[in-house]
Amino acid sequence: QSTQEFHEDLFPNCVGTLPATSAQAWWAGDSQQVGRVSLHPTRRSTATFSSPVIACTQLQAADASSTDADADRSVSTGRRGAGYSSPSSLASPGSATTSLSASTGPSSGFASSPSQKSLQSILGPSSRFRHTQGRVLHRDTHLTNLRGLSLTTPGECDGFCANHQRVALPLLSAGGQIAILELSKPGRLPDAAMPTIQNGVAVADLSWDPFDPRRLAVAGEDAKIRLWRIPEGGLRETLREPEAVLRGHTEKIYSIRFHPVASDLLVSSSYDTTVRIWELSAGREVSCLQGHTDQIFSLAWSPDGKQLATVSKDSRLRLYEPRRSPQPQQ
């Protein structure tokens, strides 16, 4: 394939942004999976989000493609003008195949040595992404002049979280303030104070809802989880009242994670050595997972949402199937 064709092996279908099922249906046994979305430009849906970063990347890619095409045309024209024959007059497909097989035979330098073959059998096939390189976009797409970031977030916390529209950053200011930065408004942030979320207590962890880019869940050191809804276009004034408050833990919360398949499902772990699952649409706890005797370092859902894994200070990894039992399966 040429550089101007879409390489599906390098850009496989990715997970969509629509939930596969509801919280109630998931508890009832529904195991549908989130739909896959094609990255092929001609198969994209009309409903997309706008981002200057993506726009800049697409513009640069289009410029590069047009430049490559112009260069190819100029080179081919120059060759014909200089008396070069067309490729078809130089060699037929049959002769090209014969030449290729001869050059890659056992006598050529391209044959793998026994040591290389044995190494490949141990390491497995090499990745097609091994030569992929990234680069930093232009400074105009950056968010700069970040000030007063919190340096005391717990180790179990990610420190910040982002989705395709905005970024949430805990601040050093008292009262558990959280800055919300819009990715559609890059550039230097103002020196003056900006509107923030007033969480009321220090932030223990925070996470965006994967199916609602405007809903942010924030775990506090007061054992409560607050749900905040960001207005369209970002914060214009400081938010002081959360959309909902989840109560159930008796000690400080370690971490929170949204369910990857069902909407309105959130899991949390706490110093009280329990793992609790919440149904956000009802604002209540629906399950309390047991079995931990020490500090819970982290937790994660399986991609299909059927299992939940936790790792704790006692050097044990526990696997749960919440719909079957509150006790670990292994």
Cβ atoms < 10 Å from Cβ of 7: 10
Q: Which two tokens stand for residue 296?
A: 């819970």
pLDDT at 277 over 80: yes
DSSP-assigned letters across all residues of 100-135: HHHHTSTTSTTSPPHHHHHHHHHH-SPPTTTT----
In this prediction, residues 177-203 reach a mean pLDDT of 92
Confidence at residue 150, expressed as pLDDT on a 0 to 100 scale: 87
What distance in Å separates the CA atoms of residue 195 and residue 168, rounded to the nearest whole number? 12
Confidence at residue 85, expressed as pLDDT on a 0 to 100 scale: 40
Residues above pLDDT 70, as percent of the chain: 75
Confidence at residue 125, expressed as pLDDT on a 0 to 100 scale: 72
Cβ atoms < 10 Å from Cβ of 147: 12
* Burial environment of residue 321 by CB neighbours within 10 A (0 to 12, 13 to 18, 19 or more): middle
Confidence at residue 147, expressed as pLDDT on a 0 to 100 scale: 87
From residue 166, alpha-carbon distances to 53, 156, 228, 307 in Å are 12, 22, 14, 29
Cβ atoms 147, 155 nearer than 8 A: no
In this prediction, residues 183-204 reach a mean pLDDT of 91
DSSP-assigned letters across all residues of 251-311: S-EEEEEE-SSBTTEEEEEETTS-EEEEETTTTEEEEEE----S-EEEEEE-TTSS-EEEE
- Report the chain's mean pLDDT, rounded to a whole number: 78
Query: In degrees rounded to 5, what are phi and psi of residue 253?
Result: -90, 140
Confidence at residue 153, expressed as pLDDT on a 0 to 100 scale: 81
The mean-pLDDT minimum among 19-33, 254-268, 310-324 falls in 19-33
Give buried/exposed letters for 166-187 (b at 16+ CB in 10 A, else e).
bbbbbbeeeebbbbbbebeebe
Q: Which two tokens stand for residue 40?
A: 């092929």
pLDDT at 327 over 70: yes
* pTM tops 0.85, yes or no: no
Angle at 252 between CA 250 and CA 257, to 5 degrees: 100
In this prediction, residues 317-324 reach a mean pLDDT of 93
Confidence at residue 123, expressed as pLDDT on a 0 to 100 scale: 66
DSSP state of 323: T
Confidence at residue 45, expressed as pLDDT on a 0 to 100 scale: 64
**Amino acid code (one letter) for 78:** G
What distance in Å separates the CA atoms of residue 267 and residue 253, rounded to the nearest whole number? 11
